[in-house]
Amino acid sequence: MSADHVAILDDPGRWGLRVVDGRLHSEGADLTAIAESVGTPAYIYSAAHIEAQFRKLEASVRQKPTLICYAVKANSSRAILELLRRLGAGADIVSGGELARVLAAGFDPSKIVFSGVGKTDEEIDAALRAGVRSINVESTEELERISVRAQALGVEAPISLRINPDVDPKTHPYLATGMQEAKFGIPMASALATALRVVALPGLRLFGLASHIGSQIQDTRPYLDSLARLRVLLSALAERGITLSQLDLGGGHGIAYRPGDPELDVESWGAALAAATADLPMELVLEPGRYLVGNAGVLLTRVLGTKAGEKKRFVIVDAAMNDLIRPALYEAYHVVVPVELAAAQFAEVQTVDVVGPVCESGDFLALGRPMPAVATGDLLAVLSAGAYGAVMAGTYNTRPEPVEVMVSGEQWAVTKARRTIAEIIDAERVPPWMA
Ligand code: LLP
């Protein structure tokens, strides 16, 4: 297979990009000009790509009433939330913080599902007060607490049970959530008893079932396997006269990170799901995160310098693991290409490690990658960085998190300013006895 810079020039659209005058653009916006204006590292998001992905997913499930609840954890930028809300999305949240964000962004509480393996009483209260669509519950202990809180507030809590169907999603082990070893969900073996417990407890209403088996899934099969498991439970409940309104199939829709990667074919995935649920009078809920925003985002970084080690060549850039932790944490592959993409086709190809300035050997963006030769000051684009990029950033080594920018056509705007180092330091306090 050809090196990434050749493949991307062939089909930049797959990564939500365009090549204009030989340079990478996000929609009509010149990444070089943006980087000159806002500095690097910078996350750039294409609104049009997010919208196109949302429309594709929406179309794929048109045969079945379906609510698409964006998994806010993938990228909780206010601008992106605003965009997705306008497109009609609901929200899948996992914390009181995300609840506050989506309420501030104007999401209709009846389109909010609250997932997560551990919820505090304060978070449960906030969700009940807001009147969310469902609380996706993962343990009996949590049920008992929600029952107490609902009675205290004088409301009825809509409960969806997140089942662990024990299905292998064939993804990175850190991204698999629906197998017996995972901390997530209620085991199949106790699912029926837990559902009956919901019916018995005061203050609760059994509203639906949920599952989320993992992330970056490229194939329809694991979804169908999971659904088959959930259907066994639905039948057992129906035999007892219990019918549910909602079937939440989670997120996990895979995107292309490498040029050769398949992408989950959502059209046939949706058709298969519709067929497999045709006889169920239930509304489907989906919780996509990465699929909507992953390839809408690029991390721009500048080359600080290059160096030849004893065994390897390094390209040292100004973005690091604190800005994008996926390579360090999951050995995730992100394409890294020069923004001057057309000219790069003529450069000598070298095999390099692209590394950041952080004092950790795990601080890399790419390892052993064939890349066109680059020089100090060159601008590089790290692709597929829209999901689980900015949200997982931190300030390790006292490095401010990247600035964030949204593009729409030729317009672009800073949606999150880079904090100054002074702001980071000023948020801290020396204890009074040391002052
Ligand atoms: N629903 C639930 C209950 C989840 O736990 C997740 C992701 C999603 C939906 C959205 O999954 P998606 O459609 O984005 O695959 N930091 C990792 C991914 C962690 C995913 C956690 N849960 C990464 O960078 O790949």
Pairing of strands 134-137, 336-338: unpaired
Pocket test for ligand 1, best of 53, 54, 69, 73 (most atoms within 8 A of CB): 73
Q: Is 251 in the pocket of ligand 1 (CB under 6 A)?
A: yes
Q: Is residue 419 part of a domain?
A: yes
By residue range, what is the domain housing residue 148? Answer: 116-286
Exposed/middle/buried for 411, CB within 10 Å: 0-12, 13-18, 19+? exposed
Ligand 1 centroid distance, CA of 154 (Å) = 33
Cα 251 to ligand 1 centroid, rounded to whole Å: 7
Whether the CB of 386 sits within 6 Å of ligand 1: no
Q: Which residue has the tokens 């169920």?
A: 280
How far lies 59's CA from each of 68, 94, 269, 392, 423, in Å? Answer: 11, 26, 11, 30, 45
pLDDT number for residue 176: 74
Residue 158 tokens, joined: 């809509």
Residue 172 has a pLDDT of 78
Does residue 314 share a domain with residue 278? no
Q: Which of 286, 320, 337 is the last residue before a domain boundary?
A: 286
Both 302 and 199 in a single domain? no
Per-residue confidence (pLDDT) for residue 134, from 0 to 100: 98
| 219 and 298 in a common domain | no
- 269 in any annotated domain: yes
Of ligand 1's listed atoms, the one at least distance from the Cα of 214 is: 15
Choose one of 53, 70, 215, 384 to mutate for the ligand 1 pocket test, by most ligand atoms within 8 angstroms of C-beta. 215
**Can you give the CATH number for the domain in which 332 is found?**
2.40.37.10
Which residue, 257, 258, 347, is CA-closest to 306? 347
Question: Cβ neighbours of residue 34 under 8 Å, at least 6 residues apart?
Answer: 26, 42, 44, 300, 405, 407, 412
Ligand 1 center to 214 CA (angstroms): 7
Q: Which of 286, 312, 339 is the last residue of a domain?
A: 286
Tokens of 2: 């050809």
In this structure, are 200 and 281 located in the same domain? yes
In whole angstroms, how far apart are CA 100 and each of 66, 105, 156, 406? 24, 9, 21, 22
Q: How far is the CA of 80 from the centre of ligand 1 (A)?
A: 17
pLDDT at position 175:
75
What is the Å distance from ligand 1's center to 176 Cα? 9
Ligand 1 binding pocket includes 290 (Cβ within 6 Å): yes
Residue 64 falls inside a structural domain: no
Angular region, 390: left φ>0, alpha ψ -120 to 50, beta rest: alpha
**98 in any annotated domain:** no
Shared-domain flag, residues 263 and 379:
no
133 in the same domain as 266 = yes
- Shared domain for 308 and 279, answered yes or no, is no
Any domain includes 381: yes
pLDDT confidence of residue 1: 57
267 domain residue, yes or no: yes
Shared domain for 329 and 268, answered yes or no, is: no
Of 1, 359, 427, 434, the active-site residue reads: 359
Gap between the Cα atoms of 26 and 24, Å rounded: 7
| 323 domain residue, yes or no | yes
Does the beta carbon of 326 sit less than 6 angstroms from any atom of ligand 1? yes
Q: Is 208 in the pocket of ligand 1 (CB under 6 A)?
A: no
Which residue owns the Cα nearest ligand 1 atom 7?
215
Note whether residue 432 is domain-resident: no
176 in the same domain as 235: yes
CA 289 to ligand 1: nearest atom = 14
| 348 and 314 within one domain | yes
Q: What is the CATH number of the domain that holds 236?
A: 3.20.20.10
Are 206 and 343 members of one domain? no
Atom of ligand 1 nearest to the CA of 116: 3
Total domains in the fold of the chain: 2
Distance 108 CA to ligand 1 centre (A): 22
Domain boundary (259, 286, 313) is at 286
Same domain, 37 and 182: no
Active site residue 359: yes
d(CA 207, CA 74): 26
* pLDDT by 10s per residue, the chain, length 435: 579 999 999 999 989 899 999 999 999 999 999 999 999 999 999 999 999 999 999 999 999 999 999 999 999 999 999 999 999 999 999 999 999 999 999 999 999 999 999 999 999 999 999 999 999 999 999 999 999 999 999 999 999 999 998 888 777 777 777 777 778 889 999 999 999 999 999 999 999 999 999 999 999 999 999 999 999 999 999 999 999 999 999 999 999 999 989 889 999 999 999 999 999 999 999 999 999 999 999 999 999 999 998 889 999 999 999 999 999 999 999 999 999 999 999 999 999 999 999 999 999 999 999 999 999 999 999 999 999 999 999 999 999 999 999 999 999 999 999 999 999 999 999 999 998
> Which residue's CA is the nearest one to ligand 1's atom 16?
388
| Cα-to-chain-centroid distance, residue 275 | 27
